[in-house]
Amino acid sequence: MKEYTNGEVIVLWDPDKCIHSRHCIKGLPKVFDRDKRPWIDLKGASSEEITKVIDICPSGALSYRRVSDGEKKIEPSAQIKATKSGPLLIQGDCALTDEEGKVLKDKGPYALCRCGNSKNKPYCDGTHTERGFNDSQ
């Protein structure tokens, strides 16, 4: 996890989560430039512009907190649990939408297939068991 600050916001970047969607680079090229080192330069835009772009980061690789908030811990309102050799269990306030943005579930709990064999995708239908899905392989 890397941190960058402009004195107002602290931007956090977790490279292991990045899916290279390029929302940041396209949204604020003066701040997010993968050809520069460091690749994040918070002098390129206002804190509001920066947080607006980070809010649309689909992977969560980019996040931020306001310096004025100090170190207070923000409790997540949703949890995703990867079960052993089974589905992803979603709990809490986490909406599920289709690719057009139509809401399929407005909140958890629900279980998402991660083996790829469900006949009721995106939901798990238990097929992972009969197919012998093993997430350790």
65 binds ligand FES (CB under 6 A): no
Q: Does 87 bind ligand FES (CB under 6 A)?
A: yes
Question: Cα 53 to chain center, whole Å?
Answer: 13
Cβ distance to ligand FES smaller for residue 73 or 119: 119
Minimum gap (Å) between residue 113 Cβ and ligand FES: 3
d(CA 98, CA 122): 9
Whole-number minimum distance, CB 90 to ligand FES, in Å?
Answer: 13
Which CB sits closer to ligand FES, 4 or 110?
A: 110
102-121 footprint of ligand FES as x/- string (CB under 6 A):
-----------xxx-xx---
Extended beta strands in 67-108, E state: 78-82, 88-92, 96-97, 103-105
| Residue 24 near residue 57, CB atoms below 8 Å | yes
Residues 6+ apart with CB under 8 A from 82: 88, 114, 135
Q: What is the contact surface with ligand FES in residues (CB under 6 A)?
A: 86-87, 113-115, 117-118, 124-128
